[in-house]
């Protein structure tokens, strides 16, 4: 399923022009702005035979709630789609399944960053609850840099119940918590795994925590007690990648 949406920012628009210029419907560049990055956008558009409109910065500011960096594009979005039942079917079939579960992550910047890391680390799907979760807004898409087209974001009605169903498919559910006694680097990540990350501050909800087969923590050496959820997600996912690549 495709939909039209405005994306913004140098990197996000540049990625579309390089990979899928045929899906760019309209391109808007900031009038009277001249720099190398926008010149590169112009060159990509010209190479693809795309016309662009030059628009006043004030007008572009009205269109976008965020830092557009002088470039906005209307594009056809083809998100990777998967529903709850399809994901459970995949869990039954795939022995090395890797899922990222985000519980209570409401900041679209964090969702986008987690999605980008999930794509880079080979995650099969990102699972979020329908309530208390960020959506795939233009801001999230900008940060994700196209990852939403490759990694499905599966919204589930009841996260605790869904984790129960995953466990019935022999998926090992591992949650992260600062008070956990198990260390990330001492944990074996073999077989189908669902990594659960909670929101900063409050962490996982109680019912989500109770469904975890194991709780782990990232060892911290400095004075900072915790990491941003997207950074912590990257640390954990790439430790799983490291172990699986051996």
Q: How far is CA 50 from CA 45, 70, 74, 82, 117, in A?
A: 5, 17, 12, 32, 31
Select from 198, 175, 169, 149 the least CA-distant residue to 97. Answer: 169
What is the model's pLDDT at position 202? Answer: 73
- Residue 217 is predicted with a pLDDT of 93
**CB count, 10 Å around CB of 122?**
14
Fold classification of 84-245 (topology level): Alpha/beta knot (3.40.1280)
* Separation of alpha carbons 18 and 239, rounded Å: 31
Q: Is residue 218 annotated as involved in ligand binding?
A: yes
In this prediction, residue 80 carries a pLDDT of: 83
Q: Is 72 annotated as a binding residue?
A: no
The third-level CATH classification (topology) of the domain covering 3-77 is 60s Ribosomal Protein L30; Chain: A; (3.30.1330)
Nearest to 119 by CA among 77, 90, 151: 151
Q: What's the pLDDT score for residue 211?
A: 96
The pLDDT value given to residue 2: 59
Question: One fold for both 3-77 and 84-245?
Answer: no
Whole-model pTM? 0.84
Distance CA 105, CA 111 (A): 7
Is 100 annotated in a binding site? The answer is no
Q: Are strands 125-129 and 98-103 parallel, antiparallel or unpaired?
A: parallel
Q: What is the 3-state secondary structure (H, E, C) of 61-129?
A: HHHCCCCCCCEEEEEEECCCCCCHHHHHHHHHHCCCCEEEEEECCCCHHHHHHHHHHHHHCCCCEEEEE
Cα–Cα distance, 246 to 240 (Å, whole number): 10
Q: Which H/E stretch holds residue 193?
A: strand 193-198
Give domain limits for the chain. 3-77, 84-245
Residues in the chain predicted with pLDDT less than 50, given as ranges, are 1
pLDDT of residue 125: 97
């Amino acid at each position: 399923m495709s939909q039209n949406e405005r994306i913004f920012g140098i990197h996000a628009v540049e990625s579309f022009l390089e990979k899928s210029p045929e899906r760019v419907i309209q391109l808007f560049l900031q009038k009277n702005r001249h720099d190398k990055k926008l010149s590169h956008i112009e060159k990509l558009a010209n190479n693809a035979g795309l016309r662009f409109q030059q628009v006043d910065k004030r007008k572009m500011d009205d269109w976008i709630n965020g830092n557009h960096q002088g470039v906005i594009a209307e594009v056809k979005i083809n998100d990777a789609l998967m529903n709850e039942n399809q994901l459970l079917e995949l869990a039954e079939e795939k022995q090395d399944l890797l899922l990222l579960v985000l519980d209570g992550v409401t900041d679209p910047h964090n969702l986008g960053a987690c999605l980008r890391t999930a794509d880079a680390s080979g995650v099969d799907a990102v699972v979020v609850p329908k309530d208390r979760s960020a959506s795939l807004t233009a801001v999230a898409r900008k940060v994700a840099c196209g990852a939403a087209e490759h990694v499905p974001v599966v919204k589930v009605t009841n996260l605790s119940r869904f984790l129960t169903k995953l466990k019935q498919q022999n998926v090992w559910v591992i949650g992260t918590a600062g008070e956990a006694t198990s260390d990330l680097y001492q944990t074996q990540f073999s077989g189908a795994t669902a990594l659960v990350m909670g929101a900063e501050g409050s962490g996982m909800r109680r019912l989500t925590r109770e469904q975890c087969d194991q709780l782990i923590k990232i060892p911290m050496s400095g004075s900072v007690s915790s990491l941003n959820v997207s950074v912590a997600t990257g640390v954990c996912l790439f430790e799983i990648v490291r172990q699986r690549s051996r």
